[in-house]
């Protein structure tokens, strides 16, 4: 079965750029998605197809890919961006989540 | 507006059964695969199961295979998860989720419901 590996935590000051990486063999052939989850809330899609941004998601959220690693970048992170972030990939017969990254903006 | 509303969660004893439902609106339900995803208290997200638009393809995580059954009723815009032989480790918030922006015909997820809590305890 596939695995996706993320750092457990990332910390930045407000206005700085936050980068969260996600690596795994499944990304060699499948796109990555990124979800933001705040306490007590359902996950919200912030990036799909590695780098596409859904409507309503601020432009400071962007995604990129290099080989089998996808990266979520938050340019000029704001306090309200503090949340857990999960990468995800839809493999052929199963879904795969990364373990999640707690982003602290302080 | 895409809406997914889960129901059916609750407290059940180990070995018991529960049936979750997810009511969909705001999109053509019958055109999309749908998924169940769960999150144990304080833990990360875990994909549970996926069913294609015509029910031709059904997949399960190894952790629930043989105990859970996913199904759908396109006429009622509804998704279901029959959970049998429940264990303490099945305790989680269960979300239904569907693709919208990109559908590879795999277990894609874009929109999520708010979830329903299942607690397995004696």
Q: B104 and A90: CB-CB below 8 Å?
A: yes
Q: B104 and A100: CB-CB below 8 Å?
A: no
| Portion of chain B with pLDDT greater than 70, in percent | 100
**Residue A28 confidence (pLDDT):** 93
d(CA B65, nearest CA chain A) in Å: 12
Q: Which residues pair with B111 in a beta bridge?
A: B98
- At A10 the three-state DSSP class reads strand
Of B46, B107, B114, the CB nearest to A90: B107
pLDDT beyond 90 at B71: yes
pLDDT beyond 90 at A61: yes
Tokens of B41: 């208290």
Strand pairing class (A44-47; B18-25): unpaired
- Encode A18-54: b = buried (16+ Cβ within 10 Å), e = exposed: bebbbbbebbeebbbbbbbbeeeebbbbbbbebbebb
pLDDT beyond 90 at A1: no
Q: Is A44 on the interface with B (CB under 8 A)?
A: yes
First-to-final CA distance of chain A? 37
**Residue A16 confidence (pLDDT):** 97
Q: What is the DSSP track for A60-86?
A: TEEEEEETTEEEEEETT--GGG-EEEE
Q: A95 and B104: CB-CB below 8 Å?
A: no
Q: How far apart are CA A104 and CA A9, in angstroms?
A: 8
**Residue B46 confidence (pLDDT):** 98
pLDDT beyond 90 at A92: no
- At A36 the three-state DSSP class reads strand
Q: What's the pLDDT band for A89 if we cut at 50, 70, 90?
A: very high
Question: Which of these, B109, B62, B61, B63, lies nearest to B89 by C-alpha position?
Answer: B63
pLDDT beyond 90 at B112: yes
**Residue B116 confidence (pLDDT):** 98
Task: Please report, for residues A5, A88, A93, B24, B71, the alpha-carbon distance to residue B79 in angstroms, rounded to integers and kept in the order given.
Answer: 30, 22, 19, 8, 6
Q: A43 and B47: CB-CB below 8 Å?
A: no
**Residue A94 confidence (pLDDT):** 93
């Amino acid at each position: 079965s596939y695995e996706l590996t993320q750092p457990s935590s990332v910390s930045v000051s407000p206005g700085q750029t936050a980068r969260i990486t996600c690596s795994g063999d499944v990304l060699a052939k499948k796109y990555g998605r990124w979800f933001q989850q705040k306490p007590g809330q359902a996950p919200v899609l912030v990036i799909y197809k590695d780098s596409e941004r859904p409507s309503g998601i601020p432009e400071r959220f962007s995604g990129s890919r290099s080989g089998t690693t996808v990266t979520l970048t938050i340019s000029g992170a704001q306090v309200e961006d503090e949340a857990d972030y999960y990468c995800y990939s839809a493999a052929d017969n199963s879904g795969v989540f990364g373990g999640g990254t707690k982003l602290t903006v302080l | 507006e895409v809406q997914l509303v889960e129901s059916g969660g609750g407290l059940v004893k180990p070995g018991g059964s529960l049936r979750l439902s997810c009511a969909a609106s705001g999109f053509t339900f019958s055109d999309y695969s749908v998924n169940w995803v769960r999150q144990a208290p304080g833990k990360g997200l875990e994909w549970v199961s996926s069913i294609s638009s015509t029910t031709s393809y059904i997949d399960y995580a190894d952790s629930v295979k043989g105990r859970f059954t996913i199904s759908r009723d396109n006429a009622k815009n509804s998704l279901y998860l029959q959970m049998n032989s429940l264990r303490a480790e099945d305790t989680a918030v269960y979300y239904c989720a569907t693709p919208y922006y990109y559908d590879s015909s795999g277990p894609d997820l874009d929109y999520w419901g708010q979830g329903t809590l299942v607690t397995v305890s004696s």
